[in-house]
């Protein structure tokens, strides 16, 4: 099963409710919400206050991508705001195992993101604790960047690690995903596809979701 997670970073922030209704109606599986602090990444986006407001208008699962330093200080706040899944950047966590346990103790799903330069074996001793690994296929901080092709090898290697340990860990890929590259990303082993610009910058976003999903699926799945 291949899942589509639209990133609202590329949506019209003056009309977020409308954007969310659109992705719900298009059958998207979760909403990817990029939280940036201007320290871990050179950009600032939204925080728990906005997420709490959005939680009131939709039941779609919230996939919160924390690009912030010291994420351990804010886990409970994001849970209270309505997070269903929290992903932290491995590079931002001094005590990664402890933060993973902190997220799990809230009952939320837990993911760990790897920057393009971070090797997959960074996760060797925590992989069995995770629901998801997020392979960043751009340097985090901005939407609309180009997919870094080296990410494909990381996806393949992670898939092999997961299968070798017989784990049920999903591979999410985030950054520069579009209609032209989603199939090769899927074939490398990705399960969940984050797409911002490819959906929200399209003149027909509902159609864009449909095409992305079809392209991510194998012949037999279609
Ligand atoms: O986390 C990030 C960027 O740091 C992403 O979630 C982007 O928002 C994806 O946007 P596109 O590359 O699809 O435009
Ligand atoms: Co993201």
Quote ipTM for the complex: 0.99
Pocket test residue of 5, 6, 8, 9 for ligand 1, highest count of atoms within 8 A of CB: 9
Q: For residue 159, what pLDDT is reported?
A: 98
Q: What is the pLDDT of residue 75?
A: 98
Q: Is 200 helix (H, G, I), strand (E, B) or coil?
A: helix
pLDDT for res 136: 99
Q: Could you confirm whether 63 is annotated as catalytic?
A: no
Cα of 10 vs centre of ligand 2, distance in Å, is 11
**pLDDT tens for each residue of 76-114:** 999 999 999 999 999 999 999 999 999 999 999 999 999
In this prediction the pTM is 0.98
Res 220 pLDDT > 80: no
Residues 3-216: name the CATH superfamily: Aldolase class I (3.20.20.70)
User: What would the pLDDT profile of 20-41 be if each residue is shown by its tens digit?
Assistant: 999 999 999 999 999 999 999 9
Provide the pLDDT confidence category of residue 218 given band limits of 50, 70 and 90: confident
Q: What is the mean pLDDT of residues 203-216?
A: 97
pLDDT at 219: 76
Phi (first) and psi of residue 58, to 5 degrees: -155, 150
Question: What are phi and psi for residue 132, nearest 5 degrees?
Answer: -155, 145
| Chain center to CA of 49 | 20
| 3-6 vs 31-36, strand pairing mode | unpaired
Residue that is written with structure tokens 């199939």 in the block: 183
pLDDT of residue 45: 98
**Mean per-residue pLDDT, 107-132:** 98
Cβ count within 10 A of residue 91: 17
Q: What is the rounded CA–CA span in Å between residue 159 and residue 151?
A: 12
- Who lines ligand 1 at CB under 6 A? 7, 9-10, 32, 34, 65, 67, 138, 140-145, 174-177, 194-198
Q: What percent of the chain has pLDDT over 70?
A: 100
pLDDT at 222 over 80: no
The string of pLDDT tens digits covering residues 135-183 is 999 999 999 999 999 999 999 999 999 999 999 999 999 999 999 999 9
Cite the annotated binding site for a divalent metal cation by residue number: 32, 34, 65, 174
The confidence score (pLDDT) of residue 197 equals 98
Q: Give burial (CB, 10 Å; 0-12/13-18/19+) of 73.
A: exposed
Per-residue model confidence (pLDDT) at position 221 = 80
**Residue 34 annotated in active site:** yes
Contact 172, 5 (CB under 8 A): yes
């Amino acid at each position: 099963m291949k899942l589509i997670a639209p990133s609202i970073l590329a949506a019209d922030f003056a009309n977020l409710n409308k954007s969310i209704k659109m992705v719900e109606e298009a059958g998207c599986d979760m909403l990817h919400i990029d939280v940036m602090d201007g320290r871990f990444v050179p950009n600032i986006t939204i925080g728990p206050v906005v997420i709490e407001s959005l939680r009131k208008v939709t039941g779609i699962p919230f996939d919160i991508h924390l690009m912030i330093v010291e994420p351990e200080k804010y886990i409970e706040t994001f849970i209270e705001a309505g997070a269903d899944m929290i992903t932290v950047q491995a590079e931002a966590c001094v005590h990664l195992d402890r933060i993973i346990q902190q997220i799990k103790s809230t009952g939320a799903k837990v993911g760990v993101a790897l920057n393009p330069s971070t090797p997959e074996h960074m996760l060797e001793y925590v992989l069995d604790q995770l629901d998801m690994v997020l392979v960043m296929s751009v340097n985090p901080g901005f939407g609309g960047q180009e997919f870094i092709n080296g990410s494909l090898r990381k996806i393949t290697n992670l898939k092999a690690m997961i299968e070798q340990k017989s784990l049920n860990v999903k591979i999410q890929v985030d950054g520069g995903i579009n209609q032209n590259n989603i199939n090769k990303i899927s074939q490398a082993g990705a399960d969940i596809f984050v797409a911002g610009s490819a959906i929200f910058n399209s003149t027909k976003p509902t159609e864009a979701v449909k095409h992305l999903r079809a392209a991510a699926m194998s012949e037999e799945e279609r």
